[in-house]
Amino acid sequence: MTANQLIRPITTEEKEHLFIGGCDTVELAEKYGTPLYVIDEQTIRAVCRDYKRAFSKYENVRFMFASKALCTLATSQIIASEGFGFDVVSAGEIYTVYKAKTDMSKVLFNGNNKSQEELDLALKLGVGRISVDNFTELSMLDNADILLRITPGIECHTHEYIQTGHLDSKFGFDMSGIDEAVEIILKKNLRLHGLHAHIGSQIFETKVYSDEVEIVVDELVRLNKKFGLNLNEINLGGGLGVKYTEDDCPPSIDEIADVILSKLYKVIEKHKINPPLLILEPGRSIVSPAGATLYKIGASKQVPNGTKYVAVDGGMADNPRPSMYNSKYSAVIANKPFDLDSLQKVTIAGRFCESGDILIKNIELPNPQKNDILCVFNTGAYNFSMASNYNRVQKPAMVLVNNSQSDMIVKRETLDDLISHDRIVI
């Protein structure tokens, strides 16, 4: 088992209260307030090391963390210290990893509608690769080291919004347009190093990775032969799923490594080529299990002969995934994790003015009461990065925990922060 298959951070302990990273989560809620994002440093490092160990027998491999999952100065520094580079998709992500003093030569700029200003910033700050997504982007670039992003035609059984490798996708060149793209590249001052593909997110299948390897390497070899190139980089993206609930059974990092490397060795032998640089972009699987969110329970409502709603002081603005993807989560009451004699089936409702603001449906918890602290697990990915100020509510703080120490790494927004960019014109 690797850490992506855990619902909780690896340091989680149930004592009189729930502890993460050696810290009492109830005390964290009292000290920093709620809602509160809690990130366990040891879990982040453990997953990074799981990836490096699982792929260690292939010497020419590079890992780039998918920054869209979670992008802060502190987490970027931790991940960089484990030897990872970064896949970034905006000027904000580029600037964050730059200010975190990461090695910019290990950064790849990705995305389907990059602005000229973003491309210029990437080149100015020394981003190592730009993944070119379309013909418009080719016309905007000059004097750059690039990969060509392709859509390999692989459809994963994930939510339709997080499928990116199938043919009907907004991302990348379809296979019929690759030759034309290369012809344009050869006429410009662009240095093409290889191909980039990404097949989706929250992937539980392993065969799709095998299919992706074969398609991408076959295409790399074909382009080298047809155009006399020496392309030697394949970026397979990321997308490995995580375990949000007991019903989820994601493959381990070791399993996908076995699938990817087994097929890669076969196609290398088939084509009699030197091993290409293998680039992988894990994101969710690194930070999601490292994260938990603490909420304070407030009002409750019992529908006659129906649902009991228990409301918390956060919801869809700090975790939009249940509303967007019908995502499911696991949770406990942090101040009474062992109180199992009074279990009730309840639905956790958010505080925002939308009927769809429901965090968890039909979860069994020990008699939730006002001011209890609810801990929702596996919230390290896409919660903070997708957070909003809906209903003009301040975004939560984030703390890093490790060895019984906690440090605030993102401040809680204030009411003044909310209006800091407003201007009165009357």
Q: What is the CA radius of gyration of the chain?
A: 23
Q: Are strands 405-410 and 397-402 parallel, antiparallel or unpaired?
A: antiparallel
**362 — phi, psi (to 5°)?**
50, 60
Q: Which of 23, 48, 71, 353 is labelled catalytic?
A: 353
Phi/psi at 109 (5° precision): -95, 120
- CA–CA distance, 123 with 143 (Å, rounded to integer): 9
State the CATH class of domain 3-39+288-419. mainly beta
d(CA 327, CA 390): 19
| C-alpha 32 chain-centroid distance | 25
pLDDT means per 10 residues, the chain with 426 residues, are 94 96 98 98 98 96 98 98 98 98 98 96 98 95 96 60 47 89 96 95 92 96 98 96 95 97 97 97 98 98 94 98 94 90 93 96 96 98 97 98 98 98 94
Question: Is 353 among the residues known to form the active site?
Answer: yes
CA nearest neighbour of 215 among 167, 170, 256: 167
What is the per-residue pLDDT for 407? 98
Domain boundaries, the chain: 3-39+288-419, 41-285
Q: Please, are residues 28 and 401 in contact by the beta-carbon 8 Å criterion?
A: yes
pTM above 0.85, yes or no: yes
Third-level CATH fold of 41-285:
TIM Barrel (3.20.20)
Please, what is the Cα angle at 147 between 145 and 149, to 5 degrees? 150
Report pLDDT for 389: 98
Amino acid code (one letter) for 36:
L
Per CATH, 3-39+288-419 and 41-285 having the same topology is answered no
Is the CB of residue 124 less than 8 Å from the CB of residue 143? no
Helices (H) and strands (E) in the chain, counts: 12, 21
Contact 349, 312 (CB under 8 A): yes
Q: Which of 294, 363, 354, 302 is nearest to 328 (CA)?
A: 363
- Quick one: pLDDT at residue 162? 37
